[in-house]
Amino acid sequence: MSIYDHRIVAQIYDKIYNDNEDINLISDIIGDHRWKILEPMCGTGRIIKELARKGHRVFGIEKSTEMIEEARKNLAETNAEWKLVNKSALDGSWGEEYDLIILGYDALVELETAREQEMMFDFAKTSLKDNGRIFIDTLVFKEEDTIPYLCLSFEGENDYGTKAICRVSNQKNLKNQQVKVSQKLISKTVDGHRFDTVYQRISHIPSARQIRNWLIDRNFQIVHTYGDYEGRNLDDHHERAIFWAQKTVNDREE
């Protein structure tokens, strides 16, 4: 069970992550186009909700039932065409002919292994139309350093008065760029009921080089690489890597 399967986390997620810097960057790159957009591992729909408001047709895949319920509420507030599917993105069958696929804010590090992450690029290649784009935004492992990790940590309250605190209780670096993290979630309802739960997860932290190779191996043309949401070029000093790449027209199966 993931921490994202807890209802209180889903209900206050958008209050925790309410910055739109990544969405602004995506919108700036897209420009005036009106596209068919998919976000696998879309969570509460924070990104695609804003893109829907800008006139795009948006689609999302999310494994957590609690998170996708919040996403449906968020997208119902828009007048755009949208569809959400409650399943693991690793199941494949994402659909076809998308103009853009978004592997948004640290979605890749929700996965346990490099192979699982690489599978996302295979599915994206199949699901994009010719000349379709992919946007990747993730924390990365700098090979000369210890593994960085940004884990869910917050203190907040939902609309019903339930308060929650989530803290990292233990973190251990494993082999092969993996991190094992324990998170303790404490929630307390307005009538005084308290619930304590500990969640454990293993994440693979990819390097920028790995992402670049996964794209090149699938004949994506890398158009831009950024190290932050201000659009600065990616270099070895950045702990975040943002890729904008295009599926090449001549990459059809023989």
Residue 239 has pLDDT above 70, yes or no: yes
Angle between helices 21-30 and 46-53 (to 10 degrees): 40
Looking at residue 17, its amino acid is: Y
Each residue of 167-221: pLDDT tens digit? 988 889 898 899 999 999 999 999 989 999 999 999 999 999 999 999 999 999 9
Query: Tell me, what's the pLDDT at 222?
Result: 97
Say how many CA atoms lie within 13 Å of 214 toward its Cβ: 22
Residue 22 has pLDDT above 60, yes or no: yes
pLDDT band at 148 (very low <50, low <70, confident <90, very high): low
Query: Tell me, what's the pLDDT at 253?
Result: 43
Question: For 88-107, what is the mean pLDDT?
Answer: 96
Q: What percent of the chain has pLDDT over 90?
A: 78
Each residue of 104-123: pLDDT tens digit? 999 999 999 999 999 999 99
Cβ neighbours around 1 below 10 Å, total: 9
Question: For 26-40, what is the mean pLDDT?
Answer: 96
Query: Tell me, what's the pLDDT at 1?
Result: 73
Q: In whole angstroms, what is the distance from residue 201 CA to residue 18 CA?
A: 24
Query: Tell me, what's the pLDDT at 98?
Result: 98
Looking at residue 7, its amino acid is: R
Nearest to 131 by CA among 36, 54, 2, 4: 36
